[in-house]
Structure 1
Amino acid sequence: MLAAVIVAGAAACDSSDTSSQGTARSTRTVSAEPAASPKATRSPRTQQDFAASVSAEAERSRQQAAKMLKGVEGKGDAVKDVSVNGLPVKASEEVRSALVRVTNRTGKAAFYAVRVEFVDSDGKVLDTVVLGLADVPPGRTVSRHADSRKAAGVKTFPRIAQAERG
């Protein structure tokens, strides 16, 4: 008797009368498995390599800036575009640092050469640091630290000695 009910139910579900309702179908779309992510591989470049590369680029910019400032008379043409603030330090720190900000007020990217002096309370220059800031975007302000080991441990005040836009 149970078999008769199952057969009758199956026959009712298999009705082919589509005249008034149409045919309803369910479609399931199966996407292909996503490709596996590439396995993480270690870069042959180490942190020391990266640091050396950054240091070399900073040194190239510094040398370019020093060369540019050699021929500059007075404070330079970009001194109004540059500001500097001393950063707080502890007496035990080995570096005296200043935050240098350059604002490019021109309509195109520019290279800036900046000479920062660290002076004591008597105005005596204890150290001079030259920075080169490459490709400063128009209308933007960029920042860089000027660091002095010679002025470490002494209360100093940073000041902009020269700034030139190239």
Structure 2
Amino acid sequence: MSSAGFPAGPRRGRVALVASVALTGAVLAGCGAEGSGDAAATFSNRASPPATENFSGEPPSPMASAAESMKAEVKASASAAEASASARASAFEESVSDATERTRQEFEEQLDGAEGQGNAMSEVGLTGKPLSETNGVRAHVVTIRNRTDAPASYAVQVDFSDADGKVVETRIVGAQDLAPGERAQPLAISRKPVEPQLTAKIVKAQRY
């Protein structure tokens, strides 16, 4: 018997049981705390990086994007310059030329039917005009002189070539019903910008 009046054995058993339950609760609480800590570590408010495995290729670099933008600007500027040059050339041509669409078609037909460089290369010449006299338009004087003993008409083709010798523009002019010894000086007017420089050359002349 114990001093409290209860048998010693059962009391010890109850004490051991209470201690065991308390220890188990502490262990479980500890595990729960650890689990909560892991869960807190698992979730985050930060955005996840994109899944790059779903994409192919590489995004354009800032330098590449700038280069493409510069190319577009240069192309647009060149197009605007060419349009402006064409408009000025058209206005200048209208102010100095008396050729009609019908006469131009006639000249073209005569040149299409010519053999080689035509039969009148020795009767034509080419001289450039200063830009100050043409409102900044590239223009060349085509001098035509009838060196025969009978009235004649002439059709002349002028090609404009770049520094590589590539023909970038062709202009056709002419003169009708020139008397023997008479001279005419139509203008071959380029519709291209004055830069880069182009070389003008008479490539065909036909007397008819």
Using the size of structure 1 for normalisation, the TM-score is 0.60
| Aligned-pair CA distance for 1:122 | 2.3
| Aligned-pair CA distance for 1:142 | 1.4
RMSD of Structure 2 on Structure 1 (CA): 2.4
Aligned pairs for 1:4-15 within 5 A:
none
| Aligned-pair CA distance for 1:94 | 5.8
Find the residue that maps to 2:187 and give its secondary structure.
strand
Which has the bigger relative contact order, CA under 8 A and spacing at least 6?
Answer: 1
> Please, which of 121, 124, 147 is the counterpart of residue 189 of structure 2?
147
Q: Is the 8 A contact 2:152 2:176 kept in 1?
A: yes
Find the residue that maps to 1:123 and give its secondary structure.
coil
Other-structure match for 2:150? 108
Find the residue that maps to 2:100 and give its secondary structure.
helix
> Please, which of 76, 88, 98 is the counterpart of residue 130 of structure 2?
88
Question: Is 1:137 aligned to 2:189, yes or no?
Answer: no
> Please, which of 98, 114, 139 is the counterpart of residue 140 of structure 2?
98
CA distance in 2, matches of 1:63, 1:138: 24
Q: Is the 8 A contact 2:151 2:178 kept in 1?
A: yes
Q: For the structure 1 residues 154 and 86, does the alpha-carbon distance in structure 2 shift closer, same or farther, using more than 3 Å as the test? A: farther
> Please, which of 82, 95, 100 is the counterpart of residue 58 of structure 1?
100
| 1:79 partner letter | M
CA distance in 1, matches of 2:118, 2:199: 20
Matched residue count = 113
Listed one character per residue, the Cα deviations across residues 43-77 of structure 1 (whole Å, up to 9, x for unaligned) are xxxxxxxx98x978432211101011112221000
Other-structure match for 1:74? 116
Q: For the structure 1 residues 85 and 135, does the alpha-carbon distance in structure 2 shift closer, same or farther, using more than 3 Å as the test? A: same
Find the residue that maps to 1:149 and give its secondary structure.
coil
Work out which of the two has the higher radius of gyration on C-alpha atoms and give 1 or 2. 2
| Aligned-pair CA distance for 1:108 | 1.7
Which structure 1 residue ranges, 5 or more long, are not aligned?
1-50
CA distance in 1, matches of 2:155, 2:110: 7
Q: Is the 8 A contact 1:85 1:158 kept in 2?
A: no
CA distance in 1, matches of 2:162, 2:104: 24
CA distance in 2, matches of 1:98, 1:151: 14
Listed one character per residue, the Cα deviations across residues 57-112 of structure 1 (whole Å, up to 9, x for unaligned) are 4322111010111122210000110001122337xx66321110001001122110
| Aligned-pair CA distance for 1:120 | 2.1
Find the residue that maps to 2:109 and give its secondary structure.
helix
**Percent identity of paired positions between Structure 1 and Structure 2:** 39
Which structure 2 residue ranges, 5 or more long, are not aligned?
1-92
Find the residue that maps to 1:62 and give its secondary structure.
helix
Other-structure match for 2:159? 117
Task: Give the structure with the larger helix fraction.
Answer: 2
